């Protein structure tokens, strides 16, 4: 897969290399036979090549560069210049992100999205049960599920955002896999992946944690802290996942690698292989961020979930050492402090659910008030905070604070079901083929 993202803008070249107009930087994943390599983004002594300037004439040299480097400096040719221009465009896409253009209103897409979400949930539930029972895995169906996600997210991403907020503590692993699949596709679309790459990143996200079903349930669901033996068992789940998604399945290598490496860190302090920097693939970097975000904001057996705003602070504070810094910043721009489906407390004490956000005014979303200041259900009303609606006493409505998903007196799943029932109920369109 083409590498799309540069690890860091603060790359240092070896002092012996001077970039000229005859040289360009390209992703190491785009290296090929015949290129003249004159610089690396790693010290030469850390990369097993014989010379500090060489022409790639062996396939093994291509693999070495792809394994140890993110970027290489090469002599300019028509091909390398084109590759450099494409890479620059991708870096720009990460920096800016893309606005989500909805093809149809939330009210129309939500019923379709809900059925696709339920189909995905049933599939993942069955898949994880087969893992636990030691049966063979029906992975061909996974592509159908992921393609359905892509179709829905293309129609209106807010619908799947809403559904990904539904959480049940007793079904954490299955729901987590579905949500990470959805958010990985959404994030991939935000940073400019094409449909084939979206399918791969969706599979990476949805299947990344299948190995957890090989961990004893009493360890996986323990409400307290794990002891040393239990933690060692838990740390085996990436290896279990890699084995379960073995080569007999028709999956892209990135899918298995994401299962194996989603707990690796850029600084080498992750597990199971203590990989560093360039050895961690771009798809894995995306899944690692989404996986951590969803885990932090979800209720777990040993602690409650925290609001989105606090979760994003944790990701931000760990950028560069645990997570890819540019991808974290892009993820924060995509999610926003108040993502669709999240709950907020207004300055009036009322509780509202976020319906949609504007790329230009993410701090002033469209919200629906669902609880009064006493915490009781009220007649719902929609407020567009970007229009400074009045509270009636001369002040404007504003958000006082973000809330965790579980709020007494309000059931988000029930609310979404009601919204879906009130929307269009046309049959689902045919499942799309590979694009």
* 241-277 per-position pLDDT tens digit: 999 998 777 899 999 999 999 999 998 999 999 998 8
Boundary residue ending a domain (308, 335, 362): 335
Structural domain contains residue 201:
yes
Evaluate whether 87 touches 27 at the Cβ level (below 8 Å): yes
* 47-56 per-position pLDDT tens digit: 888 888 899 9
Report residue 216's pLDDT band, with 50, 70 and 90 as the boundaries: very high
Mean pLDDT value across residues 51-71: 85
Structural domain contains residue 117:
yes
Are 283 and 301 in the same domain? yes
Are 84 and 52 in the same domain? yes
What gap in Å lies between CA 428 and CA 126, rounded to an integer? 22
Mean pLDDT value across residues 279-297: 94
What gap in Å lies between CA 383 and CA 58, rounded to an integer? 62
Structural domain contains residue 394:
yes
DSSP 8-state assignment for residue 135: P
Has residue 330 got a pLDDT over 70? yes
Has residue 17 got a pLDDT over 70? no
Mean pLDDT of the chain: 84
- Contacts of residue 38, Cβ cutoff 8 Å, sequence gap at least 6: 17, 23, 53, 73, 74, 75
Structural domain contains residue 420:
no
Has residue 302 got a pLDDT over 70? yes
Worst-scoring range by mean pLDDT, 23-37, 47-61, 409-423? Answer: 409-423
Q: Tokens standing for 1?
A: 């897969």
The residue to which tokens 């360039």 are assigned: 278
Has residue 20 got a pLDDT over 60? no
pLDDT the model gives residue 429? 38
**CATH assignment at residue 223:** 1.10.3210.10
Report residue 46's pLDDT band, with 50, 70 and 90 as the boundaries: confident
Cis, bond preceding 272 (omega within 30 deg of 0): yes
Are 304 and 357 in the same domain? no
Has residue 427 got a pLDDT over 50? no
Structural domain contains residue 409:
no
Are 63 and 156 in the same domain? no
Evaluate whether 85 touches 111 at the Cβ level (below 8 Å): no
pLDDT the model gives residue 431? 34
Are 91 and 114 in the same domain? no
Boundary residue ending a domain (48, 70, 96): 96
Are 119 and 38 in the same domain? no
Structural domain contains residue 197:
yes
- Contacts of residue 70, Cβ cutoff 8 Å, sequence gap at least 6: 3, 6, 7, 27, 28, 41, 277, 278
Are 252 and 320 in the same domain? yes
Report residue 289's pLDDT band, with 50, 70 and 90 as the boundaries: very high
Q: Tokens standing for 380?
A: 């719902």
User: What length is written for the chain?
Assistant: 435
Has residue 425 got a pLDDT over 50? no
Are 207 and 272 in the same domain? yes
- Contacts of residue 273, Cβ cutoff 8 Å, sequence gap at least 6: 260, 261, 264
Structural domain contains residue 4:
no
What gap in Å lies between CA 108 and CA 264, rounded to an integer? 40
pLDDT the model gives residue 323? 94
Has residue 9 got a pLDDT over 60? no
Report residue 235's pLDDT band, with 50, 70 and 90 as the boundaries: very high
Are 83 and 185 in the same domain? no
Has residue 423 got a pLDDT over 70? no
What gap in Å lies between CA 369 and CA 293, rounded to an integer? 26
Are 269 and 295 in the same domain? yes
Nearest 5 degrees, angle CA 24-CA 192-CA 362? 120
Mean pLDDT value across residues 200-207: 97
Report residue 92's pLDDT band, with 50, 70 and 90 as the boundaries: low
Has residue 422 got a pLDDT over 60? yes
Are 43 and 151 in the same domain? no
Mean pLDDT value across residues 349-357: 88
Mean pLDDT value across residues 349-375: 86
Region for 287 from its dihedrals, namely left if φ exceeds 0, alpha if ψ lies in -120 to 50, beta otherwise: alpha
What gap in Å lies between CA 67 and CA 351, rounded to an integer? 50
pLDDT the model gives residue 35? 93
Are 300 and 260 in the same domain? yes
Mean pLDDT value across residues 59-86: 85
Mean pLDDT value across residues 415-430: 57
Has residue 45 got a pLDDT over 80? yes
pLDDT the model gives residue 345? 94
Identify the domain containing residue 71 by its residue range: 23-96
Total structural domains in the chain? 3
Structural domain contains residue 2:
no
Phi, psi dihedral angles at 159 (to 5 degrees)? -65, -50
Worst-scoring range by mean pLDDT, 7-16, 53-62, 126-135? Answer: 7-16
Report residue 3's pLDDT band, with 50, 70 and 90 as the boundaries: very low
Boundary residue ending a domain (295, 313, 335): 335
Mean pLDDT value across residues 128-147: 92
Q: What percent of the chain has pLDDT over 70?
A: 88
């Amino acid at each position: 897969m083409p590498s799309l993202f540069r690890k860091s803008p603060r790359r240092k070249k070896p002092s012996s290399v001077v970039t000229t107009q005859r040289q360009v930087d390209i992703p190491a994943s785009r290296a090929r036979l015949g290129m003249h390599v004159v610089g690396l983004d790693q010290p030469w002594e850390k990369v097993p090549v014989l010379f500090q300037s060489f022409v790639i004439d062996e396939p093994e040299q291509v693999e070495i560069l792809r394994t140890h480097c993110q970027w290489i400096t090469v002599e300019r040719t028509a091909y390398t210049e084109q590759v450099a221009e494409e890479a620059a465009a991708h870096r720009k896409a990460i920096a800016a992100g893309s606005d989500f253009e909805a093809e149809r209103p939330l009210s129309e897409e939500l019923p379709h999205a809900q059925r696709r979400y339920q189909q995905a949930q049933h599939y993942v539930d069955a898949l994880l049960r087969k893992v636990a029972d030691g049966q063979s895995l029906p992975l061909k169906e996974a592509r159908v599920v992921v393609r359905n996600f892509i179709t829905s997210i293309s129609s209106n991403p807010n619908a799947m955002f809403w559904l990904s907020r539904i959480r049940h503590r007793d079904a954490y692993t299955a729901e987590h896999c579905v949500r990470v699949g959805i958010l990985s596709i959404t994030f991939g679309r935000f940073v400019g992946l094409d449909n084939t790459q979206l399918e791969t990143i969706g599979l990476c996200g949805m299947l990344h944690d299948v190995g957890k079903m090989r961990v004893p349930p009493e360890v996986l669901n323990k409400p307290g802290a794990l002891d040393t033996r239990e933690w060692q068992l838990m740390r085996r789940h990436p290896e279990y996942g890699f084995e379960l998604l073995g080569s007999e399945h028709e999956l892209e290598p990135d899918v298995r690698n994401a299962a194996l490496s989603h707990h690796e860190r850029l600084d080498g302090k992750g597990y199971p292989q203590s990989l560093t920097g360039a050895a961690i693939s771009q798809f894995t970097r995306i899944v690692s961020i989404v996986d951590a975000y969803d885990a932090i904001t979800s209720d777990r057996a040993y602690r409650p979930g925290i609001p989105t705003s606090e979760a994003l602070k944790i990701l931000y504070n760990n950028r560069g050492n645990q997570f890819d810094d540019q991808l974290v910043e892009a993820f924060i721009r995509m999610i926003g402090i108040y993502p669709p489906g999240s709950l907020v407390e207004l300055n009036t004490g009322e509780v509202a659910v976020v319906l949609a956000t504007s790329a230009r005014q993410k701090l002033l979303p469209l919200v629906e008030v669902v609880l009064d200041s006493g915490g009781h259900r009220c007649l719902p009303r929609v407020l567009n905070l970007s229009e400074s609606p009045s509270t009636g006493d001369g002040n404007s409505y504003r958000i006082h604070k973000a809330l965790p998903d579980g709020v007494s007196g309000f059931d988000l799943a029930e609310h979404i079901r009601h919204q879906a029932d009130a929307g269009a109920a046309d049959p689902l369109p045919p499942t799309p083929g590979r694009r």
